[in-house]
Amino acid sequence: MSKQPISLDEALAGFDQVWSPRIVAFVNDYDVRVAKFAGEHVWHVHEHTDEFFLVLDGEIRIALRDGEEREVVLPKGSAFVVPRGVYHKPSSVDGASVLLFEPTGTLSVGDEHDPVPEHVDTTTGHVVA
């Protein structure tokens, strides 16, 4: 990782793939990741960790199954935490750039998930050079 400030705009400009998070920094045992969202992800759950979303550009929706099925809408500048153990499915109609904060090694499709479509990268993140 760089010992210099990190431009999130430059990191996001360095790749085109959606649903393929890039690790821009490490904080203790956590990754700071950026990702591009477009279309739908997959229903999944992280059994042992919360997942933090901060919308840098665009708008995302997160469908949740937490006792009831519901959806939260996050416009640019909004943050939301999906609690551990809650099934969720992020999506973005018009595309979005998102910052995520989660423990190093966390799979992008969680511990359990529906079948993963080709456009979703099953990864623990790709380190930005």
pLDDT at 101: 95
DSSP secondary-structure letter at 116?
P
Query: Could you tell me what percentage of the chain is helix, strand and coil, using 3-state DSSP and rounding each to the nearest 5?
Result: 5, 50, 45
> Strand 22-27 and strand 126-127: pairing?
parallel
Across the range 73-88, mean pLDDT stands at 98
pLDDT band at 12; cut points 50, 70, 90? very high
Please report the pLDDT score of residue 3 as a whole number. Answer: 82
In whole angstroms, give the CA distance from residue 21 to residue 19. 6
pTM of the model: 0.94
Average pLDDT (47-57) is 97
> Is residue 1 scored above 70 in pLDDT?
no
Domains, the chain: 22-127 (2.60.120.10)
Q: Are strands 44-45 and 112-113 parallel, antiparallel or unpaired?
A: antiparallel
Q: What is the pLDDT of residues 15-48, one digit of tens each?
A: 999 999 999 999 999 999 999 999 999 999 999 9
- The pLDDT value recorded for residue 41 is 97
For residue 81, give the 3-state DSSP assignment: strand
